[in-house]
Amino acid sequence: MTLVTLKDVLQPALRDGYAVAGLVTLGWEDMRAYVAAAEAEGCPVILQAGPSCREHTPLPVLGAMFRNLAEGASVPVVAHLDHGYTAEDCRIAIDSGFTSVMFDGSRKPLAENIEETTAIAAMAHAAGVSCEGEIGFVGYSGGENSAGTDPEEAARFARETGVDAMAISVGNVHLQQDKQGGLDEARIRAIEAVTEVPLVIHGGSGVPVAQRSALARGSAICKFNIGTELRMAFGQALRKAVDRDPNRFDRVQILKETHDPLVAATRTVLRAFKSV
């Protein structure tokens, strides 16, 4: 049993100069591959259920899947709700056995974001669960624009809400399919100078790998969310498996062939976050 909270994995990462991957899951096949990759690399992993995952599979089912994988794993595994938009989303996740919840109030006015995040962090902590909040707004490729995190607002948000991790907007964008972006390191330095809370980068797929490694080792960024990059690896492996034999119809036989390629792609992602 190696089910742990977000705080359990991020505080050592902050202290020892590495980052932990928050891997966006969509189903059993990718969850299982992510845990196998973390075991092979000997590092902790955060399994995340975001909005599109929850649209497909109910939270109580996802909680049971995450916990089953954690119980059999040789490395620490966090069962994390990604982008909970309401207190009710977070409450259901806590009741479903998640050990960490992200409340995303980043579209709301600052005072409202702080007030709601504070209440949800208190609810989570009372249940022994960690809480991540977001300050500033991380936009979406081809969609909403970002609003960069103001360091003073970040300091206030961290102080007043009591969150265990804080997602920031520093040039990162969700759903990027290339790595041309790059993060604003001056803004990161300004934020980490005014708070002790571990920082989180959503949209990690769009960050160049060299910058991921440098920031994992030399900044307060302790969690990079990776979704698109591994969804693309899974999609390619699945397409290849489907096309390999047009007569095959059993999906378990087809899905089995996604495992090894996804483990390999995930191991590459995890290696970049390790300490020197």
Residues that bind Zn ion (CB under 5 A): 202
C-beta of 26: minimal distance to Zn ion in Å?
Answer: 14
DSSP helix/strand/coil, 224 = strand
121 vs 241 by CB, closer to Zn ion? 121
* Residue 134 annotated in ligand binding: yes
75 vs 121 by CB, closer to Zn ion? 121
Longest CA span, the chain: 60
* Residue 30 annotated in ligand binding: no
Of 42, 17, 27, 20, give the one whose Cα is nearest residue 224: 20
* Residue 202 annotated in ligand binding: yes
225 vs 258 by CB, closer to Zn ion? 225
What is the full DSSP assignment across 23-91? Answer: EEP-SHHHHHHHHHHHHHHT--EEEEE-HHHHHHS-HHHHHHHHHHHHHT-SS-EEEEEEEE-SHHHHH
Q: Tell me the H-state helices in the chain.
A: 6-16, 28-41, 51-56, 59-71, 87-95, 110-126, 151-161, 185-192, 209-218, 228-244, 251-256, 259-271
In this structure, what token pair is assigned to residue 187? 């803004």
C-beta of 159: minimal distance to Zn ion in Å?
Answer: 23
Given the residues 8, 30, 82, 150, the one annotated as active site: 82
Backbone torsions φ then ψ of 153, nearest 5 degrees: -65, -40
Is 82 noted as a catalytic residue in this protein?
yes
7 vs 202 by CB, closer to Zn ion? 202
Which residue's Cβ has the minimum distance to Zn ion?
A: 202
C-beta of 84: minimal distance to Zn ion in Å?
Answer: 11
C-beta of 28: minimal distance to Zn ion in Å?
Answer: 22
Binding residue positions: 83, 104, 134, 174, 202
Give the catalytic positions in this structure: 82
Binding residue positions for Zn(2+): 83, 104, 134, 174, 202
